[in-house]
Amino acid sequence: MEKVYLDNAATTQVRPEVITKMQYALATFYGNPSSTHSFGRSAKTAIEKARKTIAKYLNAQPSEIIFTSGGTEADNMILRCAVRDLGVQTIITSPIEHHAVLHTAQELEKECGIQVSYVKLDGFGNPDSNHLRTLLAADDHKKLVSLMHVNNELGNIIDMDELVDICKEYGALLHSDTVQSVGHFEWDLEKTQVDFLTAAAHKFHGPKGVGFAYIRKTSGLRPMIFGGSQERGARAGTEPFHNIVGLEEAFIAAYDNLAAERAYVSGLKSYFIKRLKEELPEVAFNGYSGDLDHSTYTLTNVRLPFDAQKSLMLLFHLDLKGIACSKGSACQSGSTMGSHVLTAILPEKELQKPSLRFSFSKYNTKEELEYTVKVLKEFSTS
């Protein structure tokens, strides 16, 4: 076995039907969507169709879906505009959010003088709801809570309905980075009334460079990017029509096949955990990533019983064997620092052991997982 791709939390393989749809769009609807002639109108019609499709699956209004370059832009836009337009003086988040949220909040703290508060976590990385209530009740400042539905490194799942209720109780706005969630879990935004969420197509077998922000229509946010009336005035710039069409195709495929693909991928994760425990009995799982009831079915974060010196070569060894996985978020792969997520929840002794994130998709097989366990077992005895 030469190539095993187990880094689907970083990005996913694009579905063949998505590629076909994008190629057709590039060749056929090449007019500027803002142009009034037939070439432009054809492209604009397809964009609005994509917007309606996404809104229908999420039980939202089409006007609440704003196409962006991805999750990072969407997170930046929502947090920055909430401070600028809605009078937010305090952002409450957690130490294990994606850096698209953490770094934006920290910059807003420096630029605008807002307060950033961090909710306490338990040993598994779950936010303490009682501490969240304490932070919300601390003063009369306008507050925005930003907590991700599915953690991108641990896979922990937050109870969004409970979080919505808490925020409503204290009159706080709620934003959730749902980049690891949209396309893998059902959403009903009439039932689960978050104010803002974000998504990226490349996390559910769509193209890179496109995503969307859900912005509840009563929010009052103004644009962050100026220069045109695109996206109903919410985001200037010529729309990447082919990417939006690809996003729509991937979104439809994700939700039309959700039950079957979730069952299949859940089986892969369960099998991988079982085989790791059999072959490496001292293995541990960070957060709730080893618990299928409390974490996403798409990933697990494994702490391996290897010493620090041996650990230095592990990722390199796996790569030589054709196995792709990661130490954490791909967005921080160029950093010399360890995972900020694991640093927040693990004692120093456990941080010395290598932790790897393995993430799965419909394109993986049990044979690939068996090969990966075999390579890890051989490395442990070498």
Q: What distance, in Å, lies between the first and last C-alpha atoms of the chain?
A: 20
Question: Please, what are the averages of pLDDT over each run of 10 residues along the chain (382 residues)?
Answer: 92 98 93 91 94 98 97 97 97 98 98 97 95 97 98 97 98 98 98 97 98 93 84 84 97 98 98 98 96 96 87 90 82 62 93 94 98 95 83
At 151 the pLDDT is 98
Residue 238 CA to residue 47 CA, distance in Å, equals 12
Q: How far is it, in rounded angstroms, from Cα 112 to Cα 204?
A: 35
**Residue 66: which of 56, 55, 58, 81 has the closest Cα?**
55
Whether residue 236 contacts residue 227, with contact meaning beta carbons closer than 8 Å, is answered with: yes
- Ordered by start, the domain boundaries in the chain are 4-12+259-381, 16-256
Q: Where are the beta strands (DSSP E) in the chain?
A: 4-5, 65-68, 90-93, 115-118, 143-146, 173-177, 196-200, 211-215, 284-285, 299-303, 323-324, 355-359
pLDDT at residue 231 in the model: 85
Return all residues near 310 (Cβ < 8 A) that are at least 6 apart: 379
Task: Determine which helix (DSSP H) or strand (DSSP E) holds 334, and give its type and residue range.
Answer: none
CATH class of 4-12+259-381: alpha beta
pLDDT at residue 238, as a whole number: 84
Report pLDDT for 1.
60
The reported pLDDT for the residue numbered 49 is: 97
At residue 223, the pLDDT reads 82
| pLDDT confidence of residue 87 | 96
Q: Among all chains, which residue has been given the structure tokens 């109780």?
A: 169
Strand partners, 185: 182
For this structure, is 331 an active site residue?
yes
What is the model's pLDDT at position 326? 92
pLDDT given for residue 228 in this prediction: 80
Backbone angles phi, psi at 105, to 5 degrees: -60, -40
Distance separating alpha carbons of residues 262 and 258, to the nearest angstrom: 6
Enter the CATH code of domain 16-256.
3.40.640.10
